[in-house]
Chain A
Amino acid sequence: MNSSLPMAETPVLTGELSPTMLHEQLLSPIWKPHTRLFLFGLVLSGMGTLLAVFAITYTVWRGTGVWGNNIPVAWAFPIINFVWWIGIGHAGTFISAILLLLEQRWRTSINRVAEAMTLFAVAQAALFPLLHLGRPWFAYWLIVYPSTMHLWPNFKSALPWDAAAVFTYGSVSLLFWYLGLVPDLAAMRDRAPGRLRQRAYGVFALGWRGSVQHWRHYRVAYGLLGGLATPLVLSVHSVVSTDYAISLVPGWHETIFPPYFVGGAIYSGFAMVIILMVPIRRIFRMANVVTTRHLDAMGKMLLVTGWIVTYSYMTEWFYAWYGGDQYEQYVFWHQYLFGPAAPVVWTALFCNMVVPQFFWWRRIRQNDLLSWVLSVFVLVGMWAERFMIIADSLQRDYLPSAWFWYGPTWVDWSIFVGTIGFFSFLFLLFVRFVPFIPTAEVMELAHEMKKERQREAAA
């Protein structure tokens, strides 16, 4: 899909680099020697990964009793983290698929990072339901296969839907990401110093030579995968939301959950993209390809999706009263606001209703440091929101004699912190070994924009 419209405002690419220089700028970070900062990050995130490995091993060894979960709070930290991570993944797919269909040029420079983020976030997310099974080695029971014992998953349960949704999402995202990478991997094969590197990138480039035929197939496949990935942006978190919405738990059974969850997912995902993109832009001096226009656009996305979340909160609180159900009213107007987890709830309300309002101001949107700080608030807020929905709703349901105060254990915290480490670890490796700015696409865009400028100058 190709739009001939020149963009208003700041261009998506600035500066007048020659094609060779641009190529060099985008690919060279991969073969330059690594810095101390990188090593420090790698060691730190590696330690986080080890923490996760340790805590997971301990969980599998001892059983899920080492977590804080207990009836009635059967779902707590692991499911909160699952929803949080899978939500973060959504921005990648949104940027690569939906913005592609919307003919938005600002997606070009950031789509690779966003898609990698999606993959790594989905990997973290998938860990949690597996561990939550208690016996992860039976995870394949969730897959529909012709079992000789005629044991089928319960199709009326949202959990097999989740498994299907997340698995589809992971596979399509991987394919999409890899397809986009192929021309850049070929460029690495041709440009990287050293035979070993050239060989390695050559294997992954799958014989790409950049012929017209290759490009034609590439374009068709890219468009098709874009089309396939678009419904996934909506479907995955909608299915996740049905984990709660199809139940009768007060605070869970709401028809608004699917769009509310999708809005929140994209909201947290864009926050993560900003958190990853701002340091990349500074450290690798990429301000000419990741311009203030990108920051501005992402800030606007936070504003829009923040409003979807805000709108959903307002709807929830209003209908909880309007519906007249005493349990719903209790959950929203007492338990959430003044119950034992009230600080978490107020954090969620502040970070998801007040913080996005800062993005009304262009100066804030275009300021990378401020956007970064606000994005951290967004991620905290979205985690708090999942705590509110999942753990806080379960603490007090219909039967007051069964009320329970939930608290996470050190294992819960270790796995959570560990996944942040593992995510960062994977991401650092990605930045080290893979062209993280889509070079071929940026070059093409630069070429198109140059032609447009010439045409305008001629006119």
Chain B
Amino acid sequence: MTATPIPYRGGGGVWIALTVGAAALVVDIVGFAVDPTRTLFAWLIAVVYVLTIVIGLMGILIIAHTMNAGWPTVVRRLAETAMPVMPVLGLMFIPILLGLNRLYPWTNIAAVGDPAMHKILVHKAPYLNARFFVLRSVFYLALWSLFGLLLRRWSLATDREPHPNLRPRLRALAALMAPLMGLTLTAAATDWIMSLAPEWISYIFGFYFMALSLMGGAAALTLATAWNDRRSRIPVTLSHYYALGRVLFTFLVLWAYTAYFNYFITWIANKPQEVRWFVQRSVGPFRAESWFIILGHFGFPFLVLITYVIKRHRGLLAFMAAYLLAAQYFEVHWLIAPERGLTRVFDWWDPAAVIAVAGLSLAAALWSQRGHLLAPAFDPRFAEAARYESW
């Protein structure tokens, strides 16, 4: 079974995503005028959410290339499609950089009344200051955009002509990227999320953020595979779904593992400086969302995805992937929103921001894919990957 290499034509999807995203963006612009702080928080949540998915897809590409894995070759292009989103997210990050003082308490140390907090902020000032923060953010986003660009460009090169050296080259790039990605992601998670509560630290946070991203990436890839398979655009079999289902399940468990130890070690040691972060989320208005994350983001998908039958069922697996993608939004929301104050858990600005960011990102991905194949059909291992069997 081989693919008929027909380039992707784009079609209505681009315009629908663009229109919906742009409409939501208008709402957000109103929001920035009416309630800038809450809208900025909603925007940060939305950008970080979409970023986890794109980074996750990049992570899956890195892992697949580094391991020289066979079967992912069939679905690789779908992950590569998301790479042009990274610079777009970089642009979307500009409002956050402009509104730092509305988000991060460390931007104005003089205004902090609590002497203990003041002392910590003074200590952290060489790292947590607006100029260095902006510089770092630009660096991460530029670096990831460059990596994504190379991953995609070198892969697309095989569409025009068979290129025997490209697989080793991609592999070398991915291997070099892996440690750099790990370090920059950890730093970014520290900067963008952890420093919202500047007195709080958790050493595992970088790992946790990576696991969360990989889970989001696996869910997006599974969903994209099912979507394109339904339209007979890529040659996948039930064995590929089984493989994707296992990847999704693995990352789900990995994320739960990091999240569990993040909570557990903090809880049992009970240091005031650390538990505050969890107390804020486990009592008060965010309590329900915390329970949803335990039961809805982990418990339910775990019980469903552990079964063999579901991992080999296109429709059910696609549903679970969509469900996990949606649940991931609440996870990111749960990480960020409590820091804006405990009055209301959700705002109208929250859905507006996520629809705008996700819609425009999707439009960017689909638009840049026009004219390119949806599967790297001339990759030397493509035929073998399409034949993949696993029971």
Contact = CB atoms under 8 A, between A and B. Distances in A.
Interface of A: 1-6, 8-9, 101, 103, 156, 234, 238, 242, 245-248, 253-259, 307, 310-311, 314-316, 319, 322-325
A319 B265 CA distance: 16
Interface of B: 68, 70-71, 119-120, 123-124, 127, 178-179, 182-183, 186, 190, 199, 201-207, 246, 257-258, 261-262, 264-266, 268-269, 271, 273, 381, 384-385, 387-391
Contact of B257 (A5, A253, A258): A258
A1 B70 CA distance: 15
A319 B271 contact: no
Contacts of A257: 203, 261, 265
A246 B179 contact: no
B127 A5 contact: no
A255 B124 contact: no
B183 A256 contact: no
Given A8-B68, A307-B178, A238 B261 contact: yes
Contacts of B179: 307, 310-311
A298 to B, nearest CB: 14
Q: Is the interface of A mostly helix, strand, loop or mixed?
A: loop
B262 A255 contact: yes
A242 B264 CA distance: 10
A256 B186 CA distance: 12
Contact of B124 (A8, A247, A322): A322
B391 to A, nearest CB: 6
Contacts of B205: 255
Nearest to A326: B123
A256 B203 contact: yes
B257 A316 contact: no
A199 to B, nearest CB: 38
Contacts of B268: 156, 246
Given A4-B388, A246-B269, A259 B70 contact: no
B53 to A, nearest CB: 22
Contacts of B261: 238, 245, 255, 257-259
Contacts of B70: 3, 5
Contacts of A254: 203-204, 265
A311 B183 contact: yes
Contact of A322 (B178, B201, B246, B269): B201
Contacts of A310: 179
Nearest to B208: A255
A234 B390 contact: no
A46 to B, nearest CB: 42
Given A3-B390, A103-B390, A311-B179, 15 more contacts: A9-B68, A101-B246, A156-B268, A238-B261, A255-B202, A255-B205, A258-B257, A259-B257, A259-B258, A311-B182, A315-B186, A322-B127, A324-B119, A324-B120, A324-B123
B201 A319 contact: yes
A255 B203 contact: yes
Contact of B183 (A156, A246, A253, A314): A314
A364 B98 CA distance: 49
Nearest to B380: A8
A324 B183 contact: no
Contacts of B71: 5
A1 B207 contact: no
Contacts of B183: 311, 314
Contacts of B182: 307, 311
Given A2-B390, A246-B268, A315 B202 contact: no
Contacts of A5: 70-71, 384-385, 388
Given A5-B71, A315-B186, A255 B390 contact: no
28 contacts: A1-B390, A1-B391, A2-B389, A2-B390, A2-B391, A5-B70, A8-B68, A101-B246, A156-B268, A234-B257, A242-B264, A247-B269, A248-B269, A248-B271, A253-B265, A254-B203, A256-B203, A258-B204, A258-B257, A258-B261, A259-B258, A259-B261, A307-B178, A307-B182, A310-B179, A311-B206, A324-B123, A324-B199
